[in-house]
Amino acid sequence: MAMILSALVSACASKLAGLIADRIAAGLGVEDDVRTMQRRMERVSGVLADTERRRRMHEHETAAGAWLDELRDFLYDADDVLDLCRFEEICKDRLFLSLAVDDSKAEDGGGRVRTRTSTPLLDTNVVGKEMKSATEALVETIMPDDGRGEVVTVSIAVVGMGGIGKTTLAQRVFNSRRITGGFPLRAWLCISREYSETDTVKEAIRCCGGDYGCAETLAELELILRSTISGKRFFLVLDDVWEAGVKHLSADSGWELLHRTACLDGKEIQSLRCVGMAIVTKCGFLPLTIKVIGGLLMTKRRSRSEWERVLGSDAWSMAELPDEFKGAIFLSYEDLPPLLKQCFLYFSLFPADFVYYRWHLCRQWVAEGFIAASGECTVEEIAEDYYYELITRSILQPHPSYLADQSRCTVHDVLRFFAQHLSRRESVCGDLQAVPGSSALVKLRRLSLVNLAEAMVPCNAMSDDRKCLRTLFLIGIPKS
């Protein structure tokens, strides 16, 4: 709870400062009250930091739970009042009636749900002899060099926990010379927990050069797919199939990934190797957690004392989180500045494999009030700085097709699930009725619906006491 509240306190404090700086508080005759609230926010921030430190080490520390719940409700109410104050001031200016949305700068297409489309390009930070040997072994299994040339059907499952490198291994196999030369048809399909069979078959037809035309039923599409691949050698990868191996990285490979991600030079690689190896061990030799910690270390001084401070942080031992989020994942979140935490939690509203467009995402952050003006920079420029910092920290991953300008990104499923876990009492993505403990959602702030059936629910499911909903996304739902 305190993890969320610290970001919210910072956001409210920023809005209070804005009301004073823009003379809005003075215009409404409440400047003294706003300054008093601003000082109280500073004191609350200190109390929250102390509460969080105590809860890290004591899993069943619940004494402050009721107070935190009450504080959360107060902060959300205060946030609403602050926005109403600013809106009242804006409404005094009649010019706002003539404002129009300018989409001239918008990048083509907008962030939209894609049916887990092909992403066979390689990660630029692939390291390790284990990955190379595993790739060669899989390719040999698929296409044995025995000279017989027999046509056989081979099915292989690559399994393991999130972040272990399953997709990276599959990418290397998919792009190997023997596979590209031996299979005239190749398709890469991603299957999430929730997926459409018809859309998946359509994508398979498209990847194989076919045309499904106006076909919509699964039976029609299967006939077209069969015709498209009939008599040809066909290589298919189904990525991210849930409940579906590769080993963890070795110590040397883990260290190589860490120092590459942290962008160390030759001297630093030698001087920081010992503490770096200890960090790799604490990451469990998992590629995702190593990259996330490497991104965190990239924002720190490249000194032994600074790296030892990260290694010794008590955030590694956060008790109240599920096991998959403990350690490096939580530490990377805890290290974010408060306003950047709000930006990270925003990813909880989007479905798996959502492609984030830089310009649209930054606009949404600004509209939500996550971005505080600073100096001569506009809030849009600051939002872009936040966007690139999340890339630096390996939280946002540049889309393989846009590595040059990094204008489009994705978020790893593990990180997205972490954001959803932290914000589960404030934000929901998907079926509102399926959320357990709906009584805890009285203060639901943000709701994202990803299909037409879900979109029919809110009016009936949202009771009169749930009037603080601020954001509603209808993602991938036809307008008509």
Cβ count near 168 (within 10 Å): 20
Whether the pLDDT of residue 152 is over 70: the answer is no
pLDDT digits (tens, 9 = 90+) for 415-428: 999 999 888 878 88
The pLDDT assigned to 63 comes to: 54
The pLDDT assigned to 451 comes to: 64
pLDDT digits (tens, 9 = 90+) for 328-347: 999 999 899 888 998 999 99
Q: Are 344 and 333 in contact (CB under 8 A)?
A: yes
With pLDDT > 90 as the criterion, what percentage of the chain qualifies? 21
Give the three-state DSSP class for 480: coil
CA distance 445 to 460: 17
The identity of residue 367, as a single letter, is A
DSSP string, 270-285: HHTHHHHHHHHHHTTT
CA distance 246 to 254: 14
The pLDDT assigned to 442 comes to: 52
The pLDDT assigned to 116 comes to: 39
CA distance 288 to 160: 13
Mention every residue, 6+ apart, whose C-beta is less than 8 A from residue 395.
Answer: 292, 295, 332, 344, 411, 415
Highest mean pLDDT among 172-186, 199-213, 274-288: 274-288
Give start and end residues of each alpha helix (H) in 299-346.
Answer: 304-311, 328-334, 338-345
Tokens standing for 176? 């190997």
Mean pLDDT estimate for the chain: 76
The pLDDT assigned to 364 comes to: 93
CA distance 46 to 9: 10
Q: At what angle do helices 129-142 and 166-174 cross, to 10 degrees?
A: 50
Q: Are 283 and 328 in contact (CB under 8 A)?
A: yes
Cα dihedral across residues 174, 180, 183, 185: positive or negative: positive
Q: Are 357 and 110 in contact (CB under 8 A)?
A: yes
- 164: burial class by Cβ within 10 Å (0-12, 13-18, 19+)? buried
Cα atoms in the 13 Å half-sphere on the side-chain side of 112:
10
- 156: burial class by Cβ within 10 Å (0-12, 13-18, 19+)? exposed
Whether the pLDDT of residue 363 is over 60: the answer is yes
The pLDDT assigned to 345 comes to: 93
pLDDT-wise least confident of 99-113, 146-160, 191-205, 293-307: 99-113
The pLDDT assigned to 264 comes to: 92
pLDDT confidence bin for 101, thresholds 50/70/90: very low
How does DSSP classify residue 336?
S
Tokens standing for 224? 């077209």
CA distance 37 to 462: 31
Model-level pTM greater than 0.95?
Answer: no
Compute the average pLDDT of residues 422-448. Answer: 68
pLDDT digits (tens, 9 = 90+) for 47-72: 776 666 565 555 445 555 666 767 77
CA distance 403 to 25: 44
The pLDDT assigned to 114 comes to: 37
Highest mean pLDDT among 58-67, 322-331, 449-458: 322-331
Hey, where are the domains in the chain? 2-98, 129-145+152-239, 251-414, 424-474
pLDDT digits (tens, 9 = 90+) for 160-201: 655 566 777 888 888 888 888 888 888 887 776 556 788 888
Mention every residue, 6+ apart, whose C-beta is less than 8 A from residue 356.
Answer: 111, 350, 396, 408, 409, 410, 411
- The residue among 405 and 17 whose pLDDT is bigger is 405
- 342: burial class by Cβ within 10 Å (0-12, 13-18, 19+)? buried
CA distance 240 to 106: 31
**Rounded alpha-carbon distances, angstroms, from residue 421 to 34, 66, 137, 330, 340:** 33, 19, 37, 11, 17
pLDDT-wise least confident of 26-30, 228-232, 269-273, 401-405: 26-30
pLDDT confidence bin for 371, thresholds 50/70/90: confident
Cβ count near 364 (within 10 Å): 18
The pLDDT assigned to 380 comes to: 93
Q: Are 412 and 397 in contact (CB under 8 A)?
A: yes
CA distance 418 to 423: 9
Highest mean pLDDT among 150-164, 274-288, 414-428: 274-288
The pLDDT assigned to 229 comes to: 85
The pLDDT assigned to 199 comes to: 80
Give start and end residues of each alpha helix (H) in 196-316.
Answer: 197-207, 218-229, 251-261, 266-271, 273-282, 287-298, 304-311
Task: Characterise 124 by phi-psi region: left (phi > 0), alpha (psi -120 to 50), beta (else).
Answer: alpha
Beta bridge partners of 186: 235
Whether the pLDDT of residue 31 is over 70: the answer is yes
Dihedral in degrees, nearest 10, Cα atoms 276, 280, 282, 285: -170
The pLDDT assigned to 467 comes to: 61
Whether the pLDDT of residue 253 is over 70: the answer is yes
- The residue among 336 and 132 whose pLDDT is bigger is 336
- The residue among 25 and 296 whose pLDDT is bigger is 296
Task: Characterise 378 by phi-psi region: left (phi > 0), alpha (psi -120 to 50), beta (else).
Answer: beta
Q: Are 239 and 353 in contact (CB under 8 A)?
A: no
Whether the pLDDT of residue 379 is over 80: the answer is yes
Q: For tokens 């008093």, what's the residue?
A: 36
The pLDDT assigned to 82 comes to: 74
pLDDT confidence bin for 361, thresholds 50/70/90: very high
- Dmax (CA) for the chain in angstroms is 88
